[in-house]
């Protein structure tokens, strides 16, 4: 039974209709709705403002209202906890969000009755400038315009393998295989596959293939002496910089988040989002 619903909101999209729907459902069920003060405070609603720690500890269900970026933030908030996460589209179709606003009442009741499945999502972790970072899409070493290419050596499981000269070197999860990694030519990987991808974006070298590593192998990226200074992006946000000689080691965190599914498949969502039509028919 869902006694407490937590909300995570997109910073700009209009979420009033979705919040009102959740509040009405909660009132009928005698449930409590919580939200972060800086988010629910800008909307006229009766959700109870609490800090992030209380939100995570008290919620039986966390609802991300927005798109994939909001879902990634929600997943990072709950990383390592068994609390299910429901994604609600507010605007463009995403890979992670499961339903539209009009489907909320029935979906919340289905979750309350345990009529849903859980899709575990793997994360990756590293330490940047002394702080641990967690990503559900990717960690990328990205060239800074005017400061030269990204020269990066890739060492999986302690075995030096390749040196890339590229615009970026991306370490992605299967969830992130349809994000930055995909735009760099990486493979589409089902989220059921717990794998780590290493993909070079716009590689200026003869070897430009992606690597697919098992989740139990760490991979170390070292910035080469010929490289420019690089930005470290975690799920698209810059969290630090690396200079030649610096390195980071990335490890997998299987099952770090639990995403609610009610019947849609990854392949259906991927076909719609990526507009996959296939090649021409052959007679």
Q: Does the annotation place 79 within a ligand binding site?
A: no
> What is the rounded CA–CA span in Å between residue 180 and residue 267?
18
Q: Does the annotation place 69 within a ligand binding site?
A: yes
Q: Does the annotation place 267 within a ligand binding site?
A: no
Is 33:46 a contact under the CB 8 Å cutoff? yes
Q: Does the annotation place 186 within a ligand binding site?
A: no
> What is the rounded CA–CA span in Å between residue 43 and residue 33?
14
> What is the rounded CA–CA span in Å between residue 131 and residue 129?
6
Q: Does the annotation place 137 within a ligand binding site?
A: yes
Q: Which are the catalytic amino acids?
A: 68
Q: Does the annotation place 68 within a ligand binding site?
A: yes
The two structure tokens encoding residue 102: 């009009």
> What is the rounded CA–CA span in Å between residue 246 and residue 259?
35
Q: Does the annotation place 178 within a ligand binding site?
A: yes
Long-range contacts of the stretch 180-187 (C-beta < 8 A, 24+): 180/137, 180/138, 180/140, 180/236, 181/138, 181/210, 182/274, 185/210, 186/210, 187/212
Show the CA angle centred on residue 78, arms to residues 77 and 79, nearest 5°: 100
Give the number of other Cβ atoms within 10 Å of residue 207's Cβ.
10
DSSP secondary structure letter of residue 128: E
CA 46 to chain centre: 29
Q: Does the annotation place 127 within a ligand binding site?
A: no
Q: Does the annotation place 167 within a ligand binding site?
A: yes
Q: Does the annotation place 181 within a ligand binding site?
A: yes
Q: Does the annotation place 208 within a ligand binding site?
A: no
Give the number of other Cβ atoms within 10 Å of residue 219's Cβ.
23
Q: Does the annotation place 164 within a ligand binding site?
A: no
Binding-site annotation, residues for NAD(+): 68-69, 73, 137-138, 167, 178-183, 202
Annotated binding site: 68-69, 73, 137-138, 167, 178-183, 202
């Amino acid at each position: 039974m869902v006694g407490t619903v937590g909300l995570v909101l997109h910073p700009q999209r209009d979420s009033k209709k979705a919040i009102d729907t959740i509040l009405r459902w909660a009132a009928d069920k005698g449930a409590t709705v919580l939200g972060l003060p800086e988010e629910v405070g800008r909307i006229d609603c009766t959700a109870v403002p609490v800090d992030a720690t209380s939100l995570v500890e008290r919620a039986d269900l966390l609802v991300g209202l927005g798109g994939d970026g909001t879902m990634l933030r929600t997943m990072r908030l709950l990383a390592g906890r068994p609390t299910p996460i429901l994604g609600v589209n507010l605007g463009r179709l995403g890979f992670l969000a499961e339903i539209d606003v009009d489907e909320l009442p029935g979906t919340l009741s289905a979750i309350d009755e345990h009529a849903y499945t859980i899709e575990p999502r793997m994360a990756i972790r590293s330490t940047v400038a002394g702080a641990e970072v967690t990503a559900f899409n990717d960690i990328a070493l990205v060239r800074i315009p005017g400061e030269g290419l990204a020269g990066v050596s890739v060492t999986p499981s302690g075995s030096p393998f390749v040196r890339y000269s590229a615009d970026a070197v991306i370490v992605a999860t299967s969830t992130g295989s349809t994000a930055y990694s995909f735009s760099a030519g990486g493979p589409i990987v089902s989220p059921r596959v717990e794998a780590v991808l290493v993909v070079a974006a716009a590689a200026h070298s003869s070897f430009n293939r992606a690597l697919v590593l098992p989740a139990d192998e760490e991979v170390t990226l070292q910035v080469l002496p010929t490289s420019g200074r690089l930005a470290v992006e975690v799920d698209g946000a810059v969290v630090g910089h690396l200079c030649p000689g610096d390195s980071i080691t990335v490890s997998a965190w299987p099952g770090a988040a639990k995403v609610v599914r009610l019947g849609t498949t990854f392949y259906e969502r991927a076909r719609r989002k990526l507009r996959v039509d296939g090649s021409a028919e052959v007679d």
